[in-house]
Every structure is written in structure tokens, then in C-alpha cells.
Amino acid sequence: MNPESTKLRRWLKWGLFIASLLTVPVPYFMVVVGGLVPLFYILYLAVYGLFIGLPKFTAEAFWMLGILWTHVVILGGLLYLVATGVTWFCVRVLPRRYALVVVFGLIFALLGASTFQVYRMPGHNSAPPGNIFRILRSLGS
């Protein structure tokens, strides 16, 4: 493989990984509350939990932080492996032009699908469906 295709594969891999981080619904399990949200939502909760949980030094806070960061590491690693595999396949098998079209098509398909009601917001009893805009609104409040 030449250096140009290696650089192309690297850019496509990171672009697809970031798009999947922002849009792919992943299962979110907590002790009582669950949902199906994009990974950046769980990452936001994990980072926010550091600021809330660390000053208190309680066992419950560290337990919740452990669950959140386990989600981030495992699901983030899986999304990274999928992005790496897809871009490796596209760059190795397809011509450069078609590899770009396929990966950008996947990115735009992920972004388009996230505008539909594909996520389940965490909540007690029944988790209401939502799209990416509802999730972003919930982070702002």
C-alpha cells in the first residue's frame, strides 16, 4: 500500500468513527434507567459524572462512574473496530473514488438516519423515543 492510500484510509476511518460515535444507537444500561442512545451521550454523562462524583467520594458515585466508563471503553472500542474494518475493506478492495463514495455515503446515511426516532431516551417506566435533536436538547438543559 502506498502512503497516499494509508493517509486516505486514516482520514476515512476517523471520519466514520466520529460519525458513528455521534449517531449509532448503542445500548445504555444502568441499574434502574436504560435506553438506546448515541455513544457521545454516554461519554458526556461519564465526563459530567467525574465533576459530580469525584468531590463526593461515595461508593455509589464510583459505581456509576465505573458503569459509564465501561460503556465508553467497550462500545467505543467496538465502534472503532467497525470503522477500521469498513475503511480497510473499502480502500483495499474498491478503487479510491468508490471507496470515498461508499464511506461518505455511510456517513451521510448515519447522519440522515439520526434525524428519525431511532433512540430511546433513558427514563423510568417507559423510555420515550427521540432523535438526535432531542438528545442534544436534553444535554443543553
The tens digit of pLDDT for each residue in 55-77 reads 777 777 788 888 889 999 999 99
> pLDDT category, 124, cuts 50, 70, 90?
low
Largest Cα separation within the chain, whole Å, is 55
Model confidence pLDDT, tens digit, residues 73-107: 999 999 999 999 999 999 999 988 899 999 999 99
Distances (CA, A) of 31 to 14, 60, 64, 65, 137: 32, 11, 9, 12, 24
| Domains in the chain, number | 1
Indicate yes or no: pTM above 0.75.
yes
Tell me the C-alpha distance between 78 and 104, whole Å. Answer: 20
| Domain limits for position 52 | 3-140
Query: Rg of the chain's alpha carbons, rounded to an integer?
Result: 18
**Segment 1-24 mean pLDDT:** 87
